[in-house]
Structure 1
Amino acid sequence: MSQPEITTARQPIATTYDTNFCFPVRELESERVKLTPFIPDLHADLYFQGSIAHPDLHEFLSWETFTDTSDFVKKVIDGRVRPDGVALYAVIDKTRTSPSPSSSANFAGIIGYVNGSLVNLSIDIGYVIILPPFQRTHVATNAVGLLLQYALDLPPHGLGLRRVQWKANSKNTKSIGAVQKFGFKLEAILRWERIFVGSKTSASNGVKEREGDPRPGTIGMDLVVLALCWDDWESERARVLQAMDRRS
């Protein structure tokens, strides 16, 4: 059973992209998938071009339509990722033939670490968007599995964290069901946890805001919180690695 090959980027990340993250950010690699730090100059246009025809990818995210690559960088990378201290990765499918390390042929999407806490040894996995040509393949399983290994395995191979969280819109049953297969346990439903600006009624909790609400016309959502902790990982690790190696 293969282990992830965890290496540092070929050049210091700080010279190409300030991750603003509290834990070391490294490239993570399995036999079939590589996670490399998201560099806007290398990956932003690949994401925009791969997602522009599929607005449903953002159905449960409070992201509006992007007009072009620079608009995506402005709204997501500069507006959310950098200020919020997200360690965003580009997902590369190593099984696809490509003329370069990152191209439309092998760029499979994005995934990231969010809300890292050195004090509490905890982290969230978020920004999980796999582009349609790579869905229902080995990509998502390997990408999530690599982040779990790095977060929960003990040093020197991992960070030795105690808790990994996954948060999803209560209507996003695909996300909730998929992550439970990794051993994540449902812990809470946070009602009215977030406000959506826009008209994504499918993401709404279905309850109309009261008369006089300070933000009329915005959608409220309920958030499901799941977690996989270090003691869960002790029993789930072998099964996750096996799923990452599965060929069918």
Structure 2
Amino acid sequence: MTNTLLDWKPVSPPPRAPIDGRYVGLQPLAVTLHGDDLWHALQGPDSDSALWDYLPYGPFTERSTFDSWLQDKQSSSDPLFFTVIDKATERAVGLLSFLRIAPADGCIEIGHIAFGGAMQRSPASTEAIWLLMSLAMDDLGNRRLEWKCNARNARSMRAAERLGFMQEGLFRQHAVIKGQNRDTAWFSIIDSEWPQCRDALQRWLSPENFDAQGKQRQRLEELRETRQ
């Protein structure tokens, strides 16, 4: 990009408000409403065994500690946490957030993603992230959407690339997490790239993209490539 003045005005920060989708809804985190379901989804017998491997907190062996952690996240505005509600069961099945919110620069990140085992590799997990992506880029008008993860977290890196984020580089020895070094991989989508990502995500999430057994007809990456 050339060094020219931008026709730019700061955007609004994301509201602490519900977001409705087809498979899931996002609600601002509320411990009294969501605590029981989240404890079951994230720490119960059917939870994802690898969930806490690369997060800077957890796992939680005691419910009281988990609730205290949720209480702290509930009151935060950056990160701004949302609970994922499965619309079929009306139960809370995961968490995710906006963070590093910079309205003056039009830059915002999605992270702190913690999904229960039932959400793994499902349309619901993709839609939950899509709802935040669309809010950030379409409704709020940010210029840049970020995704960061431990460079050893192959699952998170694959998810970023599948969603259309481009890897920008590696921050070596960026942090110490749970006593271990963290090299951080940085990914982003900028506003000029967003329409292609948005189109592919909308087409992938469409009911027409799934057969009677719920199997996808086209992969998200294929849909994005067909519109290049």
Which interval holds the TM-score relative to the shorter structure? 0.7 to 0.9
TM-score, structure 1 normalization? 0.73
Task: Kindly provide the CA deviation profile for residues 121-146 of structure 1, in whole angstroms up to 9, marking residues without a partner as x.
Answer: 11110111111122121111101111
Asked if the contact 1:116/1:124 (under 8 Å) is kept, the reply is yes
Asked if the contact 1:145/1:244 (under 8 Å) is kept, the reply is no
Gaps of 5+ in 1: 1-20, 198-217
Aligned residue pairs total 195
CA distance in 2 between partners of 1:36 and 1:141 (Å)? 16
Q: Which residue of 2 is the match for residue 171 of structure 1?
A: 152
Q: Which residue of 2 is the match for residue 187 of structure 1?
A: 168
Q: Which residue of 2 is the match for residue 62 of structure 1?
A: 56
Q: Which residue of 2 is the match for residue 117 of structure 1?
A: 102
Asked if the contact 2:95/2:115 (under 8 Å) is kept, the reply is yes
CA distance in 2 between partners of 1:76 and 1:111 (Å)? 12
Superposed displacement of residue 187, structure 1: 0.5
Partner residue of 1:30 out of 17, 21, 24: 21
Task: Kindly provide the CA deviation profile for residues 150-173 of structure 1, in whole angstroms up to 9, marking residues without a partner as x.
Answer: 1101xxxx1011111000110111
CA distance in 2 between partners of 1:225 and 1:72 (Å)? 29
Task: Kindly provide the CA deviation profile for residues 58-81 of structure 1, in whole angstroms up to 9, marking residues without a partner as x.
Answer: 000121332333311323541x56
CA distance in 2 between partners of 1:152 and 1:84 (Å)? 19
Stretch moving more, 121-130 or 40-49: 40-49
Relative to structure 1, is the Cα distance of residues 137 and 23 closer, same or farther in structure 2, using a 3 angstrom cutoff? closer
Where do 1:191-230 residues align within 5 Å?
191-197=172-178, 218-230=179-191
Q: Secondary structure at the match of 2:105?
A: coil
Identity of aligned residues (%): 24
Q: Secondary structure at the match of 1:186?
A: strand
CA distance in 1 between partners of 2:188 and 2:197 (Å)? 13
Asked if the contact 2:106/2:142 (under 8 Å) is kept, the reply is yes
TM-score, structure 2 normalization? 0.79
Superposed displacement of residue 84, structure 1: 6.6
CA distance in 2 between partners of 1:145 and 1:171 (Å)? 24
Superposed displacement of residue 40, structure 1: 1.0
Give the residue type in structure 1 aligned to 2:167: L
Q: Which residue of 1 is the match for residue 33 of structure 2?
A: 42
Asked if the contact 2:42/2:114 (under 8 Å) is kept, the reply is no
Q: Which residue of 2 is the match for residue 214 of structure 1?
A: none
Relative to structure 1, is the Cα distance of residues 177 and 33 closer, same or farther in structure 2, using a 3 angstrom cutoff? same
Partner residue of 1:72 out of 53, 66, 69: 66
Gaps of 5+ in 2: 1-11, 216-228
Task: Kindly provide the CA deviation profile for residues 167-213 of structure 1, in whole angstroms up to 9, marking residues without a partner as x.
Answer: 0110111111112122100001111111123xxxxxxxxxxxxxxxx
Asked if the contact 1:48/1:72 (under 8 Å) is kept, the reply is yes
Asked if the contact 2:109/2:145 (under 8 Å) is kept, the reply is yes
Tell whether 2:228 aligns with 1:234: no
